[in-house]
């Protein structure tokens, strides 16, 4: 029955967000209430007019797209336009468990812009914001594999998740990030490490196992950064 179908859809992670409209000859309030209780978004009784069904489908598709856009905005950093800490926490947990199931290695890298406080103090926060935007886009563009993930962790710090990758593969990607940022040649006369904007990266590569937590993983990567 339609009730059985919607139960199956709502029980699966991949299909639970699909909008379901009932078109049915069952017209009692009890049946309608049951459909909505199971997660239906609309209820159309027979006989129906196809143009009305089409119009309602369009309305619900617009609502779905609006919800997706809203969810996307809540996951983006407002300054840089890349993913934020909230989305990072979600993705780290997701990829951690995925690599645990597949027994594959995962790399977590923490990135910090060197002497950024001195940059803000001397060039101004407006220039600092522009530099953060440039660095964020460059890091995001350099991490090219579809499964890789880059986010602004906070302040001038960024985080990257590289699932199912070797130590050597991680090193190639992260070194490319470091070189590309320096290659931008953004002047930083007040840096303690370089005369241009540069970054430091700390990374940890592990195969997730029971007994090792995401929190420990993150802490180790942060220690590597410093």
Which helix (H) or strand (E) element contains residue 202? strand 199-206
Between CA 82 and CA 107 the distance in angstroms is 19
Answer yes or no: 71 catalytic.
Answer: no
Between CA 176 and CA 155 the distance in angstroms is 22
Helices (H), 44-108: 50-74, 85-102
Q: Which of 62, 71, 95, 156 is catalytic?
A: 156
Sheet holding 106-113, edge to edge: 149-154, 157-163, 106-113, 199-206
Q: What is the Cβ-side half-sphere exposure of residue 206, based on CA atoms within 13 angstroms?
A: 20
Q: Using the Cα atoms of residue 183, residue 186, residue 189 and residue 192 in order, give the sign of their dihedral.
A: negative
As annotated, the active-site residues are 156
């Amino acid at each position: 029955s339609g009730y059985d179908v919607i139960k199956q859809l709502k029980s699966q992670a991949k299909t639970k967000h699909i909008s379901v409209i009932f078109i049915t000859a069952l017209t009692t309030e009890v049946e309608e209430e049951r459909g909505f209780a199971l997660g239906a978004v609309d209820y159309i009784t027979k006989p129906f007019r196809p143009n009305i069904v089409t119009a309602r489908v369009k309305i619900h598709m617009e609502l779905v797209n609006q919800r997706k856009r809203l969810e996307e905005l809540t996951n983006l950093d407002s300054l840089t336009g890349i993913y934020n800490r909230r989305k990072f926490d979600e993705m780290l947990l997701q990829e951690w468990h995925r690599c645990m199931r597949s027994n594959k290695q995962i790399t977590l890298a923490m990135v910090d812009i060197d002497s950024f406080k001195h940059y803000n103090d001397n060039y101004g926060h407006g220039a600092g914001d522009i530099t953060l935007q440039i660095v964020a886009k460059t890091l995001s563009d350099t991490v090219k594999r579809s499964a890789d993930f880059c986010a602004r962790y906070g302040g001038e710090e960024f985080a990257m998740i590289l699932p199912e990758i070797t130590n050597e593969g991680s090193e190639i990607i992260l070194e490319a990030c470091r070189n590309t940022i320096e290659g931008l040649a953004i002047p930083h006369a007040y840096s303690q490490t370089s005369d241009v904007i540069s970054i430091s990266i700390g990374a940890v590569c592990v195969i997730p196992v029971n007994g090792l937590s995401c929190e420990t993983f993150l802490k180790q990567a942060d220690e590597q950064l410093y």
